[in-house]
Amino acid sequence: MPELPEVETIARQLRARGIEGRCIEQVEINWEKTVEPLSGAAFCEALIGSTLNTISRYGKWMMFTLGSGRTIMIHLRMSGSFSMAPGTHDRIILTLSGGTKVYFSDPRKFGRWKLVDDPARILGALGPDALTKAFTLKGFREALSRRKRILKPVLLDQTVVAGMGNIYVDEALWESRIHPERICCSLSDDETELLYKAIRHVLQVGVKNRGTSLGEGRSNYRDVEGDSGGYREKVKAYGRGGRPCHRCGTLLERRVVAQRGTTFCPFCQPENV
Ligand SMILES: [Zn+2]
């Protein structure tokens, strides 16, 4: 499932393809539920003739800002991806001026394109984006100190910090040597700082390596060029249950935490400290 580094990679690649500034000439919708809140026909009508001005990202959301003043808010959910070439699961196809076509593929059909007048209607509910200056150690410390819940679901909670999902949460916890079921407010100042730095670090490395693909299935993450991300070789914890910890050699443990498969090192990340 695409997280911040995968969405950032796709946004950068779409920008590099020079689609910003082009006029939307045609819109084809093959799966009506992908678009909200309008019907497929009304959605097409609202887009056609408008310029796709800029492509940006916040947390796991990608935004297409239109010349009409409206914004398409795109969430890839489980399996959404973009390509410049047609595929078998294309749900939306944009034809831009100059003949460029952009294909939104989504085998699992959970991805959404929401047309909004003001992105703040969605983004206003989110916490700071994990890779911006708005995500501060001070703010993160305050957020954790107020919570008596276990850590992992709080890190997945986009209203606390926006951008992480299951992969990068497990990676950040492994890197900072913190157990996923520690109680948030029990973390020492040093542990919070380690975790804060680990979150930034794993996401930055993820972006640098064009994201993560962890399977070979049809819904697995692919970037705009059709490549699987390069972060996969760098994954230390996620999906490695039963295999040795890169740091200490102990076999990593997999358990379900807050309904999510979670992998950690029982030696490096002790439950009781
Ligand atoms: Zn270990």
- 224's CB contacts (< 8 A; 6+ apart) are 9, 10, 13, 14, 17, 81, 82, 83, 84
Q: What is the architecture of the domain spanning 137-264?
A: Orthogonal Bundle (1.10)
Q: What is the architecture of the domain spanning 4-123?
A: Alpha-Beta Barrel (3.20)
The per-residue pLDDT for 1 is: 82
**CA-based nearest residue to 73, from 124, 31, 22:** 124
Taking only the tens place, the pLDDT of each residue in 25-61 is 999 999 999 999 999 999 999 999 999 999 999 999 9
The per-residue pLDDT for 213 is: 66
Compute the distance from residue 129 Cα to the ligand 1 centre, in Å.
29
Compute the distance from residue 165 Cα to the ligand 1 centre, in Å.
22
Which one from 22, 60, 114, 222 is the annotated catalytic residue? 60
Is 60 among the catalytic positions?
Answer: yes
Domain with CATH 1.10.8.50 in the chain: 137-264
Taking only the tens place, the pLDDT of each residue in 151-185 is 999 999 999 999 999 999 999 999 999 999 999 99
Compute the distance from residue 9 Cα to the ligand 1 centre, in Å.
30
CB-proximal residues (5 Å) to ion ligand 1: 245, 247-248, 250, 265, 267-268
**Does the predicted TM-score (pTM) go above 0.85?**
yes
Is 3 among the catalytic positions?
Answer: yes
CA atoms within 13 A on the CB side of 74: 25
Domain with CATH 3.20.190.10 in the chain: 4-123
Compute the distance from residue 249 Cα to the ligand 1 centre, in Å.
6
Is 32 among the catalytic positions?
Answer: no
| Average pLDDT of the residues in 181-210 | 96
Which one from 70, 141, 260, 266 is the annotated catalytic residue? 260
- 75's CB contacts (< 8 A; 6+ apart) are 60, 61, 62, 111, 112, 114
